[in-house]
Amino acid sequence: MRDQRVRSGEIELAVRVRGVENRPTVVLVHGYPDTSAMWDEVAERLAGRFRVVAYDVRGAGASGSPADPLDYRLDALMGDLEAVLDGVGADEPVHLVGHDWGSVQGWEAVIGDRLRGRVASFTSISGPDRRHMARWVREAVRSGPRGVAEVLGQARRSVYMPVLMAPRAGEAAARALAAGFGRAMRLREGAEPRPGHPAGTLAADARNGLGLYRANMGRGRAAPGRRAAPDPGTSADGRTDVPVQLIVPVKDRYGSQSLLLSARGPVERLYVRRAPAGHWVARSHPDLVARWIGEFVEHLEGGPEAPGLAHARAAGRPGKDFGGDLVVITGAGSGIGRATAHAFAAEGARVVAADIDEGAAKRTVEEIQAADGEAYVYGVDVADAEAMERFAGYVRDTFGVPDIVVNNAGIAIAGSLLDTSEEEWNRIRSINLDGMYRGSRLFGRQMVERGEWGHIVNISSMAAYLPSPEMPAYGATKAAVLQMTEGLRLDLDRYGIGVSAVCPGVIDTPIVGRTRFVGLAPGAETELRERIGQASERRGFAPEKVARAILRAVRQDRPVVLVTAEARLGRALSRVSPTANRALARLGRRAGDRILTGLERSEG
């Protein structure tokens, strides 16, 4: 390891070089309000295989600051990066890695002509390109209310930017940021604000870094002629043929996943990785970040494509939110499970369709394959603990650890609890609750051990919070599923794994035709099943709508998703007025009694 100084115009930049001289060069560029020390753990892990270069950008750490507080334009920062490459003797194209504002600089390097031929690849972490961002906003707004909501959500995340750009308010915010940042680092490190960070410079770095926002984002703040003319070789829509790897921290406070994925489309060779971490993923998960950078660089240098990198390449395809993801769905032979399998496959996922009826699951798989999707069949009874163990092991050994698991398999029993036998109780519990417990536990363990992003969806029901004298056993299992899911979400949050409960209302699915009615004569049971089936059909809420809600739950990492108006109304009543909720259930009971009375008369 050696430290050196590199001059870029009037600025001297502090540069640190580690690793093996005759290996490919990896250049690490930090963001605001960091220094190059934020890369220390990652650099140490890469130094055994590569030559690793990190430097303090102008105004940060041990590097000099420009006399003009607005001399932080991207063209000046590109000049600094070019000077660093020259100063360390980077004769071959380098592999660039940027975080936050360092990523913004990286995009400028690979989109424009100034450094063309000098960058072999770019790994971007939490720093979207300004052209991609503008395109994302336009397309999101045009797409309708949901897109507008995403843009407004990102605006809330970015509320600090106008503050940093404002005179005096920005300086006050920088002082507060430096103080809070310093305290957090001292608590964590028990030493200086950051290892290797020159003592006492954090406040100055935070103040200097305001120039990044004011020079590149503020309008009318720079004097006439200050901004450089656009690079004529720069793509207006941000296109680049340089291979790009996006590391998207799924818990980033400052950038939504939708925004951070805005490079899909303009980038020809895009690889997407989702990290179970927040904004400073390089500090919290250095092993993961170093492994992903290493796999990317070694492949581009002629090595084999690791399975994880192949997955990342599939995830980079435009218009495929779940491209390359492995999705496991139980109860996929019909109804909600079948519709969900189709929905994920249409978004580019690889689907494992499991069902106790293997023939039904096979039909789902054949339908997906006929539509050019990728799907595989597996027959399993979720009530069988050993069979579920074998299923989880088969998925891991054959396809890898799943990215998303949808525990959907379930049955329904209707009738008084007094008429529900031990056998019937054990059956509904073993499928509706134990099956979801096993799917959550077995695949959740695999996700935790892998140490990457993942998501588990458990299908509950509005019966979880709407008391019903006709379906007490079913409601009990679904209430348990909802509570189990809420607890599991809190447990797995520390690993960056999302967990969602989806609560449908009255859905037109085959489960109605398979519902067991206890305490009724056989003829009455058949007639009642037909009547309820007809009512569900008239309700007309298709399972495809539930499937869309499931995908939304995963995209937005929603804890609970209520599907249908009756599910939302029931949830609101259960919170605001449990008494009204029970009254509504009594009305339903009276209507049911009238139907049963009519059936008994017709049977007589």
Which residue type is seen at 452? E
CA-to-CA distance for 52 and 21, rounded, in angstroms? Answer: 9
8 A C-beta contact, residue 245 and residue 316 = no
What is 498-553 written as a DSSP string?
Answer: EEEEEE--S--STTTTTPEETTS-HHHHHHHHHHHHHHHHHHT--HHHHHHHHHHH
**Which listed residue (376, 378, 474, 495) is catalytic?**
474
- Cβ partners under 8 Å of residue 292, min gap 6: 123, 245, 247, 273, 308
Active site residue 474: yes
Q: Torsion over CA of 561, 562, 563 and 567, rounded to 10 degrees?
A: 170
8 A C-beta contact, residue 158 and residue 150 = no
CA-to-CA distance for 355 and 377, rounded, in angstroms? Answer: 8
CA-to-CA distance for 275 and 27, rounded, in angstroms? Answer: 21
CA-to-CA distance for 419 and 52, rounded, in angstroms? Answer: 71
CA-to-CA distance for 560 and 123, rounded, in angstroms? Answer: 34
Question: SS3 letters for 288-301?
Answer: HHHHHHHHHHHHHC
- Write out the two tokens for 56: 């303090």
Report phi then psi at 418, rounded to 5. -65, -25
Catalytic residue positions, numbered: 474
